[in-house]
A and B are shown apart, each in its own frame.
Chain A
Amino acid sequence: DADVTQTPRNRITKTGKRIMLECSQTKGHDRMYWYRQDPGLGLRLIYYSFDVKDINKGEISDGYSVSRQAQAKFSLSLESAIPNQTALYFCATSDGTPSSTDTQYFGPGTRLTVL
């Protein structure tokens, strides 16, 4: 079974709809991240969380919100989707150990299309 799972894998929605993307992990990591990937722009950080009570904005948080329901779950919401939020969304985790290189582990991605 995959260590980091994302649901749904694909979603098509309309402008103005509320959308939630979910991420679950079995790695036991405290740190979780949401990124979006756009052609030519690479990955950009939306939000990150270092534990259940910690939420931090990333580079491009406008139009998004998150919820860390448990150590293993981190959800991303688009309150009112717009077409320029069409992208591939990745969840990632890391263990945050200072002595390690704090490698990130990625889920398979959610392809979101906003019409």
Chain B
Amino acid sequence: GDSVTQMEGPVTLSEEAFLTINCTYTATGYPSLFWYVQYPGEGLQLLLKATKADDKGSNKGFEATYRKETTSFHLEKGSVQVSDSAVYFCALRMGNQFYFGTGTSLTVIP
């Protein structure tokens, strides 16, 4: 069935380091892909999205490109900040259903 697999954490980086969080998906059709972020004590918030192959979603310095050939949607940021410390979830929508990855915890240290 449809599913999302993302790299396990936790991930710890120094401020201004480069971030990559890997996400791959399995889907029977052409899903929409999302990255959500969860800050401590809060619900999930949409970070970025892409609806078709080769689309690039971007927000707050984060980017992810919908790669159909590798069924991937890796999240990247060139220079992380302490305020980026959170849990990041990759997700896909197929039809009426949403499927979430297990989340990757990121801690950025000064």
A97-115: CB near B (< 8 Å → 1, else 0) gives 0000111111111000000
A103 pairs with B46, CB closer than 8 A: yes
Q: Is the interface of A mostly helix, strand, loop or mixed?
A: strand
Q: Is the interface of B mostly helix, strand, loop or mixed?
A: strand
- For chain B, the count of residues having a C-beta within 8 Å of the partner chain is 20
**Assembly CA distance A4 to B42 (angstroms):** 12
**Assembly CA distance A33 to B97 (angstroms):** 10
**Assembly CA distance A107 to B41 (angstroms):** 11
From 32 to 70 in chain B, residues with beta carbon under 8 angstroms from any chain A beta carbon are: 32, 34, 36, 41-46, 49, 51
B98 pairs with A90, CB closer than 8 A: no
B102 pairs with A103, CB closer than 8 A: no
B43: which of A40, A90, A102, A103 is its contact (CB, 8 Å)?
A90
Chain B proximity of A10: nearest CB distance (Å): 11
CB-CB < 8 A to B34: which residues of A?
101, 103
Interface residues of A (CB under 8 A from B): 4, 33, 35, 40-45, 48, 50, 90, 92, 101-109
Interface residues of B (CB under 8 A from A): 32, 34, 36, 41-46, 49, 51, 89, 93, 96-98, 100-103
